[in-house]
């Protein structure tokens, strides 16, 4: 059986990845008319940077839980 803290870590990690995928899909739907425009490419880079910062924050939060 998985303990409560491990379940929380799994859900937070999976939720963060879900947000990342949703943002990428949103960028693709907004800027992907027949191909990714230069603005769309910058938006993808922004989403990747946001994801790295989000996962850094999640990692710091998880490390301070114990």
Quote the pLDDT of residue 2: 81
Quote the pLDDT of residue 65: 80
Quote the pLDDT of residue 21: 97
Quote the pLDDT of residue 33: 82
pTM: 0.84
Give dist(CA 37, CA 14) in Å, integer: 29
Q: Annotate 2-40 with b (16+ C-beta within 10 A) or e (fewer).
A: eeeeeeeeeeeeeebeeebeebeeebeeebeeeeeeeeb
Quote the pLDDT of residue 5: 87
Question: Following CA atoms 46, 50, 51, 52 in sequence, which dihedral angle do they give, to the nearest 10 degrees?
Answer: 100
pLDDT digits (tens, 9 = 90+) for 7-48: 999 999 999 999 999 999 999 999 988 888 899 999 999 999
């Amino acid at each position: 059986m998985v303990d409560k803290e491990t379940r929380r870590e799994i859900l937070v990690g999976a939720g963060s990845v879900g947000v990342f995928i949703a943002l990428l899909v949103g960028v693709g739907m907004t800027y992907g008319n027949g191909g990714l425009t230069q603005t769309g490419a910058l938006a993808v880079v922004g989403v990747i940077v946001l994801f790295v910062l989000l996962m850094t924050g999640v990692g710091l939060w998880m490390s301070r839980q114990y």
